Structures are given as C-alpha cells and as structure tokens.
C-alpha cells in the first residue's frame, strides 16, 4: 500500500504544480500569447493558452482572406500566435484575435517590401471611394484608382475578389497606413521581362504573338513585352495590297525574328513559312530560256508584272512587251490578261525574274510589224513615169536617184 502511495505521489505532485503555475500565469488585454487549437468550426476556434481560461477566437478575428471561416484557416493541433482582446475571470473565458497578430506581421512585411522595392500579391477585398482595398496578411492596403491599372472608362469592380500583384509606394508606420500601386508592379515586372527578352533574342527565334495593330505597310505583333513589326512583304508569299486581306486585330501569328535593334528597341519579324517558299518550287521547275504562261497582275510606267506561279511574278520591261516600240504599257497589256513569254533572267538572291514577250516572238520568228507612224495610208508604189525634160538633169546630178 505504501509502495502504491509513493508511486502515485510524484504524479499527483506534478499535476498539482502545473495547475498552480496556470493559476499564477499573468494574462492581460493586449498580451501576445501562443495558443493551441483544440477545436474549430465555422463560427469560432477554441484554443488553450496555458491558463485555466477557455480561449475563443471568433470568426471575425481569425483572419485569412475575405469570406473564409475559422475551419478554413486553422485546424486542431495548430500552434498559432494571438493577442488577448478581453478577459472574463468570472466565467473563465478569454477572447483572442489572430487577425491582429497577422496584421502586425503583415505590416512588417509591407514595410520591408517598401524599402526593398519588392512586388507582393494580395486579394482585392473591397471597392471604396477613390480606389480599392487589398487584403494582405491581415493588413489593408489602399490602391488609388489612378494606380489600379483600370482605365478611366473602366470599372474598379472588375478587380473585386481578384488576386493582384502590387508594390508599396507609401507607408506610414505611426498611422499603420499603406498605399500601393498595381501599375507600378506591372511596370516593374514588364521591365524585367523586357530585359530578359533582349538578352535572349536571336535571329530566327520563333514566337507566337497577337496582332495588335494593322497599317498599310504591315502589322504589329505583341510578343508579350515587345511589339514586333511584320512588313507586308514578310506577311505572305502571295501578292496582297493590304494586310487586312489576311489578318485582323486579335489574330495570332506564328513569326520568327528577321532582324532586331536593342538600342532602338525594334524587332522585324517574318510570318512566311520557309516550307511554303514558292522560289523553291520555281527554281525546281523553271530555268532561263523556258517559255511560261503568265497572268498580268500589275502595270507600271516601266513595264508589267505577270504571275508565273503563286508567289512568283516576272517583270516584263517596257522594252520587252513588243517587237515594236511601246510608249504606254497599259495600251498593250491589261491586268488579268494571260501572256506567253520567255524567261530571260532569274536572280534568286534578289528574288527577281525577268520575262520577255519580245524575245519569244523573235524566237518563233514572228515578222516584225511595220512602222506606221507618220506614213501615208497608201503604201503601194505609184506607177513609174518619166519626164523627158528631167532626164538630162538627172544625168547631170550623177544619177542621185539610184545612189
């Protein structure tokens, strides 16, 4: 019996001392304590703070993102830091706030981010007069409308409950006031992306971009951080008069870098697929001296362009339109007319082909048309008559008529 008492005595003594320590542990409103989560539901969390009091954290003091409940923030067994907000010794109840501790820690992080120029992320919890509020680790960050990134014609409500990146641009530790900017964060991130873009760009590098604007001479493609220009001649292998014949704003284009200038921040792009290069087909099928059928597609003062195959136009110079002299190409040829001509030159490097109707006519031996300009309509020779009175004169002139 005595042995049982000796064994039990130490256990009883330890339990007694623990209870005594709980009794003498001082707590007060505003004290920061460690709390162990005992139970949790949608309205509150029950915690043990190491005293005889029962600790409660109501939903509005649990923290977390807007709309969350205590059981979404903590779970039984978690150790968290809280601040005592009220004490009821008569009922043995202590009310606590996890949100205030989070806010203090959040403010410390915001302060550090401000001095280090860091980009942070938070959820837009409310739209207020003149801007929006971002909830960041229990701290309210005010974003003025001018710093929201929303255009003047837009609505701030579009940001509500969205996770956004921001930078702290003003902080008042005494008033615990924080002002942020979504635009500044976006600008900083874009600057970093642009710097990386210029470091990694190379001739031939491929991109998939969105058509941002269309001009008569080409289109501008958004590559994510830099706009590149696709000249009309680099948009397609086919002949088109305006880019709108092929693309619209918002279309996606697969392009590759043709040239770039980091100093001027310019990128020239090409959207033509090398596998579809008509010059490959043309050089495989045609050579200088071949006869081709071509369709006139454009007439200029110096000649006409005729399509030999899609994407390859040959130039018929004004001097090669006919065997007779041509002053106006438009009087000899019309757009849409099909002609036969001879290939006289192929310059693959300059992507030029010269063709000649005149050379083909000479080759097949077509007679050269007579010059008619300034000649009388009656070309038949008049009957020869001799004037006896002039015979002596012709002889005296040395027979110039027969010279």
Residue-wise pLDDT for 43-66, tens only, equals: 999 999 988 889 999 998 988 777
CB atoms under 10 Å from CB of 315, counted, come to 20
Report the range of poorest mean pLDDT among 14-23, 178-187, 351-360: 14-23
Tokens standing for 197? 């873009």
pTM higher than the cut 0.75: no
* pLDDT tens per residue, range 185-218: 999 999 999 999 999 999 999 999 999 999 999 9
Q: Which CATH superfamily is domain 202-275 in?
A: Nucleic acid-binding proteins (2.40.50.140)
What's the confidence (pLDDT) of residue 18? 53
**What is the CATH architecture of 33-98?**
Beta Barrel (2.40)
For range 351-371, the mean pLDDT: 81
User: 171: which residues sit within 8 A by CB, 6+ positions away?
Assistant: 110, 111, 114, 177, 178, 179
What's the confidence (pLDDT) of residue 368? 63
Given a cut of 70, whether residue 118 has pLDDT beyond it is yes
For range 300-323, the mean pLDDT: 93
For range 223-242, the mean pLDDT: 91
What's the confidence (pLDDT) of residue 25? 66
More reliable by pLDDT, 276 or 333: 333
Domain 278-364 has CATH 2.40.50.140: yes
What's the confidence (pLDDT) of residue 371? 53
For range 7-29, the mean pLDDT: 56
What's the confidence (pLDDT) of residue 372? 46
Q: Could you give the residue range(s) of every CATH 2.40.50.140 domain in the chain?
A: 33-98, 117-188, 202-275, 278-364
Given a cut of 60, whether residue 42 has pLDDT beyond it is yes
User: 66: which residues sit within 8 A by CB, 6+ positions away?
Assistant: 123, 125, 126, 135, 161
Q: Is residue 122 very low, low, confident or very high in pLDDT (cuts 50, 70, 90)?
A: very high
Average pLDDT in the chain:
84
**What is the CATH architecture of 117-188?**
Beta Barrel (2.40)
- The answer to whether 27 and 51 have CB atoms below 8 angstroms apart is yes
Please choose, from the candidates 226, 233, 185, 231, the residue with its C-alpha nearest in 3D space to the C-alpha of residue 207: 226
How far is 108 from 360, CA to CA, in rounded Å?
A: 87
Given a cut of 80, whether residue 67 has pLDDT beyond it is no
How far is 296 from 333, CA to CA, in rounded Å?
A: 8
HEC profile for the chain?
A: CHHHHHHHHHHHHHHHHHHHHHHHCCCCCCCEEEEEEEEECCCEEEEECCCCCEEEEEHHHCCCCCCCCHHHHCCCCCEEEEEEEEEECCCCEEEEEHHHHHHHHHHHHHHHHHHHCCEEEEEEEEEECCEEEEEECCEEEEEEHHHCCCCCCCCHHHHCCCEEEEEEEEEECCCCEEEEEHHHHHHHHHHHHHHHHHHHCCCCCEEEEEEEEEECCEEEEECCCCEEEEEHHHCCCCCCCCHHHCCCCCCEEEEEEEEEECCCCEEEEECCCHHHCHHHHHHHHCCCCCEEEEEEEEEECCEEEEEEECCEEEEEEHHHCCCCCCCCHHHCCCCCCEEEEEEEEEECCCCEEEEEHHHHHHHHCCCCCCCCCCCCCCCCCCCCCCCHHHHHHHHHCCCHHHC
- Residue 132: HSE in the Cβ half-sphere, 13 Å Cα cutoff: 27
Q: Percent of the chain beyond pLDDT 70?
A: 84
CB atoms under 10 Å from CB of 261, counted, come to 9
């Amino acid at each position: 019996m005595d042995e049982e008492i000796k064994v039990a005595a130490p256990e009883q003594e330890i339990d007694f001392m623990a209870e005594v320590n709980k009794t003498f542990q001082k707590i007060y409103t505003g004290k920061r304590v460690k709390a162990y989560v005992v139970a949790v539901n949608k309205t509150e969390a029950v915690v043990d703070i190491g005293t005889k009091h029962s600790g409660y954290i109501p939903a509005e003091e649990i923290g977390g993102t807007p709309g969350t409940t205590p059981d979404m923030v903590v779970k039984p067994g978690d150790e968290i830091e809280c601040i005592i907000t009220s004490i009821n010794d008569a009922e043995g109840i202590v009310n606590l706030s996890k949100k205030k501790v989070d806010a203090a820690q959040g403010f410390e992080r915001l302060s550090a981010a401000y001095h280090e120029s860091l980009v942070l992320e938070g959820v837009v919890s409310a739209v207020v007069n003149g801007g929006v509020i971002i909830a960041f680790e229990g701290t309210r960050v005010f974003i003025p409308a001018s710093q929201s990134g929303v255009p003047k014609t837009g609505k701030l409500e579009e940001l509500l409950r969205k996770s956004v990146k921001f930078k702290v641009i003003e902080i008042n530790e005494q008033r615990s006031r924080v002002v942020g900017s979504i635009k500044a964060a976006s600008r900083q991130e874009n600057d970093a992306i642009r710097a990386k873009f210029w470091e990694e760009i190379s001739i031939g590098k491929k991109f998939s971009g969105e058509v941002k604007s269309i001009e008569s001479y080409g289109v501008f493609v958004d590559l994510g951080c830099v706009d590149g220009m696709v000249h009309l001649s680099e948009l397609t292998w086919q002949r088109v008069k305006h880019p709108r014949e092929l693309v619209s704003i918002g279309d996606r284009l697969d392009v590759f870098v043709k040239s770039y200038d980091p100093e001027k921040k310019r990128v020239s792009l090409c959207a033509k697929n090398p596998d579809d290069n008509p010059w490959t087909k043309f050089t495989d099928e045609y050579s200088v001296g071949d006869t081709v059928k071509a369709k006139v597609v454009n007439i200029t003062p110096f000649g006409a362009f005729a399509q030999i195959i899609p994407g390859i136009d040959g130039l018929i110079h004004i001097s090669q339109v006919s065997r007779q002299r041509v002053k106006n190409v438009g009087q000899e040829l019309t757009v849409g007319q099909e002609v036969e001509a001879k290939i006289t030159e192929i310059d693959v490097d300059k992507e030029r082909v010269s063709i000649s109707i005149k050379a083909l006519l000479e080759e097949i031996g077509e007679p050269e048309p007579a010059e008619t300009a300034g000649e009388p309509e009656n070309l038949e020779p008049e009957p020869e008559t001799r004037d006896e009175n002039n015979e002596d004169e012709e002889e005296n002139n040395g027979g110039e008529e027969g010279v």
